[in-house]
Amino acid sequence: MLTATREAVAHYDALLFDKHRESTQAEFARAIERHHLYLDDRPRCDLLRPHMVDAQTYDRARRAAALVNRGIVGLVERLLRDPALLEAAGVPSYFEPILAIDRDTGGPCTMARLDGFLDETGTIKFIEYNTDPWGGTIAESDEFDAAFSAMPIAKEFAARFPFTTVRVLDLVLEALYVDHERAGGRGPPAIAMVDTTTKPTLLRELSYAASRGCPVVSAALDELFEEDGELFVEDQRVDVVFIPWPQLLEVLLGGGDAGKPLRSALARRSVRTLTGVSRGLLSGAKILFDLLSDPAHAHLFDRDVAEALARHVPWTRRVRDCKTPFGNETIDLLPYIEAHPERFALKPSGGQDGKGVVLGWECDRAEWQQTLKRAMSRPHVVQERVSPPAQPFPALVDGTVGMVDRLVDFNPYIWNADRIEGALVRANKSGRLNIYAGGSVPGKWILTAT
């Protein structure tokens, strides 16, 4: 934590414990109930202070994300055109039918996210590129920002440390319009949220778009049909489909009559998905971080991007039997990572929501060896440990206010593949910060004068 931010945090905590404890706790509880900010029966946040970052650090993180994102976007375009590079990257051959759907006509994800950690100097390391962050608590995070910003403590705090917040829901809406206009559309885009088996409940982000004039419908996959080359749900023509990546892959790889209208519409480019297709699939594959972090591939990127990758992407390798540079030595990859679990994380290349991720420093040796064995049968990466120092937060502990230590990440959003604005922040006591692994989604304040 930088000195200026540390001073702001100390000032907030003093205000909280000296005079604003009851009002902050009460307003926090009301916000959770009013907006139903729960995951199952657990509040999505138990921290009574927003995560704070100064404006200079926020801007540096955005610039770093822009360069790393440029590297990923450019690399994906190379992979789509270079079968040899695609094979060298370890992309499974069974993905080829998906890549072929819109290799020549497809567009990027409407929204993506670079997940990373800020160290005490304000330098960020990015560990993953998330191309399906729509269930990533955007609306809930905005609600916590608004709730904290309206509390009595915020007014007194801002008199000494002015701050601002970023309304990410408005960025979602703008990105939907930009995507629609780039595809030749006019007016608001018509969106269908689709599930392979049932009519789903709308994501809050899509409900927000509907409240701002976008036609939004919910449909089971078998309710989609084509007419005159366009995709429809009942009498609503659809421009964009939202379907989570695992279900989209099931539709594209599994065949089946129910998915024919969607597959056909994607192939003829009469409809798009919010996650993209070929470009979303490749840019979200963690095995790309092998190419991004290995100096042997630096020639694939311009100088600015190559320097940013070296600075902001940790050492990552696709799990396989090979020799590879690590630090100042060359290692036999498999024996080395088996012997040093405390230095590495193992991740399935296509995993989401933290599923299948094993942190060597938080597991026993038997689990590590079992995961490594599994990693040899399906695409995985091994990544050098990146974790920030724990930060103390005031929190609700068994109904009372106390101090807890939490690890915190910082994950800039990427809109339409070229705009970096806003970020998701998560906190947890373990290195797995995903909300489904017990993490919290605290409010976030950008300090504008420190």
In angstroms, rounded to a whole number, what is the distance separating the alpha carbons of residues 108 and 101?
Answer: 14
Q: What is the CATH number of the domain that holds 252?
A: 3.40.50.1760
Q: Are 35 and 44 in contact (CB under 8 A)?
A: no
Q: What is the pLDDT of residue 130?
A: 94
The CA-to-CA distance between both ends of the chain, in Å, stands at: 13
Is 289 within the bounds of a domain? no
- Residue 393's nearest CA partner among 402, 384, 380, 382 is 402
In angstroms, rounded to a whole number, what is the distance separating the alpha carbons of residues 316 and 348?
Answer: 12
Q: What is the pLDDT of residues 141-173, one digit of tens each?
A: 999 999 999 999 999 999 999 999 999 999 999
Q: What is the pLDDT of residue 238?
A: 97
Q: Whose structure tokens read 């005159």?
A: 228
CA geometry: angle at 19 spanning 14 and 25, to 5°? 95
Is 187 within the bounds of a domain? yes
Range of the domain at 344: 315-384
Parallel/antiparallel/unpaired status of strands 272-273 and 240-242: parallel
User: Where does residue 93 rank: exposed (0-12), middle (13-18), buried (19+ CB within 10 A)?
Assistant: exposed
CA 321 distance to own-chain centroid:
30
Same domain, 319 and 366: yes
Is 352 within the bounds of a domain? yes
Same domain, 197 and 248: yes
Q: Half-sphere exposure of 412 toward its Cβ, with a 13 Å CA cutoff?
A: 25
Q: What is the pLDDT of residue 438?
A: 73
Can you name the residues that pair with 115 across neighbouring β-strands? 128
Is 327 within the bounds of a domain? yes
- What's the chain's average pLDDT? 92
Q: What average pLDDT does the segment 349-376 reach?
A: 89
Q: Half-sphere exposure of 384 toward its Cβ, with a 13 Å CA cutoff?
A: 13
CA geometry: angle at 448 spanning 443 and 450, to 5°? 105
Same domain, 238 and 322: no
* Domain finish residue from 256, 276, 296: 276
Is 25 within the bounds of a domain? no
In angstroms, rounded to a whole number, what is the distance separating the alpha carbons of residues 53 and 412?
Answer: 13
Q: What is the CATH number of the domain that holds 325?
A: 3.30.1490
User: Where does residue 377 rank: exposed (0-12), middle (13-18), buried (19+ CB within 10 A)?
Assistant: exposed
Is 34 within the bounds of a domain? no
Q: Are 439 and 428 in contact (CB under 8 A)?
A: yes
Q: What is the pLDDT of residue 135?
A: 66
Q: What is the pLDDT of residues 168-227, one digit of tens each?
A: 999 999 999 999 999 999 999 999 999 999 999 999 999 999 999 999 999 999 999 999
Quickly list DSSP for 102-114. Answer: HTTT----SEEEE
Q: How many domains would you assign to the chain? A: 2
The enclosing H or E element of 338 equals helix 333-339
Is 262 within the bounds of a domain? yes
In angstroms, rounded to a whole number, what is the distance separating the alpha carbons of residues 169 and 208?
Answer: 7
Q: Which amino acid is it at 374?
A: R
Instruction: Judge whether residue 450 has pLDDT over 60.
Output: no
Q: What is the pLDDT of residues 18-58, one digit of tens each?
A: 999 999 999 999 999 988 888 778 888 899 999 999 999 99
Same domain, 180 and 261: yes
Tokens of 143: 């609600």
Instruction: Judge whether residue 86 has pLDDT over 70.
Output: yes
In angstroms, rounded to a whole number, what is the distance separating the alpha carbons of residues 289 and 296?
Answer: 13
Is 126 within the bounds of a domain? no
In angstroms, rounded to a whole number, what is the distance separating the alpha carbons of residues 264 and 225?
Answer: 10
Task: Compute how many other C-beta atoms are within 10 angstroms of the C-beta atom of residue 123.
Answer: 15
